[in-house]
Amino acid sequence: MGSAFKNIRAQFRAVFTENLTTKAMALAIALAVWFYAYNFSVVRGKTYAVPLQLIPPPGWAVVGGNTAMVEVTLDFSQRFEREVEQAYRSGQIYVESPLRPSEAGPDHQVLIVSFKWPRHLVTPRDYGIRKVEFNPPSIQAEVVRETMVELPVTLVHTPPPDDFQLAGEPSVTPGKVRVRGRKDVLAEATEIATETVDISRPLRLELPGWEYEGSIALSQKVVVKGVEYPVRSADKVHYVIMLERKPAEKRFERVPVNFIAPTGYPYDVEFLEEPVRDVVVRGPGSVLAKVDQQNIVLYVRLTQAQQPRELAQPMPIYADLVEVAGESTLNVEISKSTIDVRVKRRP
């Protein structure tokens, strides 16, 4: 039994120790083949739609904007395939082309850009790129000369809240700003607008008015014939917007006048003219909408001091608004604020 065991152990030792040179060479060849396949096999004809950036020189602008899309078809090392996909998804692969219009030429020029690799393709690293095809292989780019002009500033704001209106024209400082952009566009531009100021929040109805003041950004664009064009200008301007309560009124005709006497008042009261008056109620429109004639109470207030007289007494007429939410914001005007009254003894 012992000798058989030794025999088997010797055979195993031979498997792992004999022909080491041959085995090592085979392993090296396998690793080399794998390394070659991994590092030098090529991804062929992979197409990506990437941004095209046209870069005009200072003082020029690209008609229609300086960004578009172009297809690039790449052959590159397979070991970079994942990195290329990541760079593509993150926007790090794109086509870039500086433009060189003639400074001595006209204000509007058409340039032909023919794409070449590696001049126009931008990537974070080379990725073992072997071949690049562009589709389209070339484009036409229109450029126009830029200029600077001074344009009036138009303040843009929301409508004011209900019951309020603008108190005069809003002010903006400065009233004009210098604007840089396409020469052909700015030749026809008449203004540059601000971003929108929000003045729509509700205000307390008892307020006679309100003032908005602050800074607001300019929109960095102009509109010519209904089309927006990008421009460059100052960042912000200062504005003041004044609001006042919107005048509103309701008129009521022939509202009855009553009298109020103290309890146990021993005399009779006689109106010597028809006890009706016309009434005007003024205030916020939203509150006025709730007022009807039955909400208006006109009255003469008698006191114990009023004794019988032969002659008529002019008495003041008081007005109350009843069952009207927000009545404190309303003002009541009576067509004639007194009425002739005679106090007499009861027969």
Question: Residue 164 is inside which H or E element, if any?
Answer: strand 164-166
Identity of residue 171: S
Q: Which residue has the higher pLDDT, 15 or 306?
A: 306
In what side-by-side order are the strands of the sheet with 42-55?
A: 121-122, 94-98, 42-55, 67-77, 131-135
CA distance 152 to 193: 8
Question: Residue 4 is inside which H or E element, if any?
Answer: helix 2-17
Phi, psi of 330 (to 5 degrees): -100, 155
Q: What is the pLDDT of residues 187-198, one digit of tens each?
A: 999 999 999 999
Q: What is the pLDDT of residues 46-70, one digit of tens each?
A: 999 999 999 999 999 999 877 789 9
Q: How far apart are the first and last CA of the chain?
A: 156
CA distance 275 to 270: 10
CA dihedral sign, ordered 294, 299, 304, 310: negative
Question: Is the separation of the CB atoms in 123 and 50 below 8 Å?
Answer: no
Structure tokens that stand for 200 in this block: 């729509």
> What pTM did the predictor assign?
0.64
Question: Is the separation of the CB atoms in 326 and 246 below 8 Å?
Answer: no
SS3 8: helix
Q: Is 49 exposed, middle or buried (0-12, 13-18, 19+ CB in 10 A)?
A: exposed
Q: Kindly state the DSSP code that residue 223 receives in the 8-state scheme.
A: E
Q: Kindly state the DSSP code that residue 78 receives in the 8-state scheme.
A: G
**What is the model's pLDDT at position 209?**
93
CA distance 229 to 262: 78
Find the length of the chain. 347
Q: What is the pLDDT of residues 290-316, one digit of tens each?
A: 999 999 999 999 888 888 887 888 999
Question: Is the separation of the CB atoms in 319 and 339 below 8 Å?
Answer: no
Q: Which residues contact 317 (CB under 8 A, 6 or more apart)?
A: 257, 277, 298, 299, 300, 334, 336, 337, 338, 339
Q: What is the pLDDT of residues 202-245, one digit of tens each?
A: 999 888 899 999 999 999 999 999 999 999 998 899 999 999 99
Q: Kindly state the DSSP code that residue 96 receives in the 8-state scheme.
A: E
Outline where 137-215 has alpha helix (H).
Answer: 183-186
SS3 116: coil
